[in-house]
Amino acid sequence: MHVNDLPTPALIIDADVFGRNLAIMAEHHPGERLRPHVKAHKCTALAAAQQAIGHHTFTCATPLEVIGMAHAGVGTDLLLANETVSAERLRAMAALDVPVTVAVDSEATIVAARDAGIASCLIDVNVGLPRCGIAPDGAGQLADRARSAGLSVRGVMGYEGHLMMVADRAERLASVERSMQLLLQAHRDVGGDIVSAGGTGTFDLHDATGITELQAGSYALMDSHYGRQGLPFDQALYVIGTVISVSAEWAVADVGLKALGMDHGNPTVIDATVWFCSDEHITYQPAGGATVGDRVRVVPAHVDPTMAMHEAAWIVCDDEVVDRWAIDLRGW
């Protein structure tokens, strides 16, 4: 099958570029130095490729990702890097054969994990992103509460997501170091073997920050948002569309809001200027004209929600389709 044979919109992954991206990251963060983040792709087949290159610990954002990875036999150590108080979902994770660790940032999340039979946790620390995480000076006391409740406290985690897109590298590095000082301060009070942090945008800034593992996911596939950061990873993911209408100044393809993550802005069409997206359409100005029936490659601005909108990704080599990977970890 050729790319042009796929019904559109179709999610494709360039196998050669994908393989190079994995190799670059594995060279910088080999083995358990990297805990790949499943939320970026929600695909056990892709995670299996990461495992094959040497990564055996994984980060998950949802209980379904944890459960799906375990059922697929991918990963020997799974981290839910998110808080949950759902007794049903916590019990389902506790019943898995693979070790599961959950993030906690309050006594309520500790109690919920304990009551469901979860054995291990990381103390989630706020290092500057106004989302989840306890203040660094409260981390030690929370760890004491977790241990008193019977949980094994493996260490700390913190996500400097607010720094991923700082344009100037020197400024980004200085800001990351300040955030990691907060995390290390918390770790001194908490103890444990793990200091977990980072992402694709800061993957090469942690050589001397003191973390033990990096959580990164987007590097494998990339998007236009990260593509502007000058990272060594290339675009492997595209949404293929078909031109369905042509006017004097613009063309329309069948890739719209229901096929793209739009929270980071408009996608990119190769050799064109995107005007806007609507439910089922992308309206753009092609540089060299367009004809109804043409195929276009659309680069999403945000890989994570884009993947979650599709049932499968088609793996291609030189535009020949060589495999189909189910996006089997969608949902919660």
Please check whether residues 238 and 127 belong to one and the same domain: no
pLDDT tens digits, one per residue of 9-23: 999 999 999 999 999
Instruction: In whole angstroms, give the CA distance from residue 33 to residue 21.
Output: 16
Domain count for the chain: 2
| Three-class DSSP category at 313 | strand
Please check whether residues 61 and 167 belong to one and the same domain: yes
Average pLDDT in the 91-110 region? 98
Instruction: In whole angstroms, give the CA distance from residue 157 to residue 57.
Output: 15
Q: What is the CATH number of the domain that holds 78?
A: 3.20.20.10
* Residue 270: band (very low, low, confident or very high) from pLDDT cuts 50, 70, 90: confident
Question: Measuring CA to CA, how many Å separate 103 from each of 39, 40, 237, 241, 267?
Answer: 15, 18, 30, 39, 33
Instruction: In whole angstroms, give the CA distance from residue 305 to residue 151.
Output: 33
Side-chain-facing half-sphere of 328: CA atoms under 13 Å:
17
- Domain end among 187, 215, 243: 215
| Helix runs in the chain, H state only | 15-28, 44-52, 63-72, 87-94, 107-116, 139-148, 169-190, 224-227, 303-308
Residue 22 lies in a domain: no
Please check whether residues 79 and 211 belong to one and the same domain: yes
Q: Which domain holds residue 112?
A: 30-215
Residue 309 lies in a domain: yes
Please check whether residues 199 and 311 belong to one and the same domain: no
Please check whether residues 276 and 321 belong to one and the same domain: yes
pLDDT tens digits, one per residue of 42-99: 999 999 999 999 999 999 999 999 999 999 999 999 999 999 999 999 999 999 999 9
Please check whether residues 205 and 71 belong to one and the same domain: yes
> Nearest Cα to 243, choosing from 205, 284, 295, 168?
295
